[in-house]
Amino acid sequence: MTVKYTPDHEWIKLEGGAPAVVGITVHAQDALGDVVFVDLPEVGRSYAKGEVAGVVESVKAAADVFMPITGEVTEVNEALRTDPSLANSDPLGQGWFFKVKVANTAELEGLMDETAYGEFSKNA
């Protein structure tokens, strides 16, 4: 299993040939506060790396969710539609946003590992 992080505070988890799982980081949900709404991407749609794939709204602010890697959305977390607070209570688990079929694994090289993201988020 490989987990990578973006400068926009998304994470992407890859396990073998399965679709990658994407969500927001603990840092992102801490900054947002209580999440009250999540706009998820369309299943079957392809997105380029860095393209806006969704929106997360909290009592404080709204923030775009960016695609961490080029690929096609294969599934969204329907549980977030009815209980968006999962993004706060379990952002790295049950609060995942969507799954994506990765088009170009070479793009992973530009993302941060956990150690690098930890350092980055201290200054974010």
Q: Residue 95's domain is classified under what CATH number?
A: 2.40.50.100
Distance CA 112, CA 95 (A): 21
Asked if the structure places residue 24 within a domain, the reply is yes
Q: Are 12 and 106 in contact (CB under 8 A)?
A: no
> Cα dist. 86→18, 29, 41, 50, 90 in Å?
23, 10, 17, 24, 5
Domain boundaries, position 51: 2-104
How many domains would you assign to the chain? Answer: 1
CA distances from 101 to 27, 33, 58, 62, 116 (A): 25, 30, 28, 26, 25
Residue 40 lies in a domain: yes
User: pLDDT tens track of the chain, all 124 residues?
Assistant: 899 999 999 999 998 888 999 999 999 999 999 999 999 999 999 999 999 999 999 998 999 999 999 999 999 999 999 999 999 999 999 999 999 999 998 999 999 999 999 999 988 7
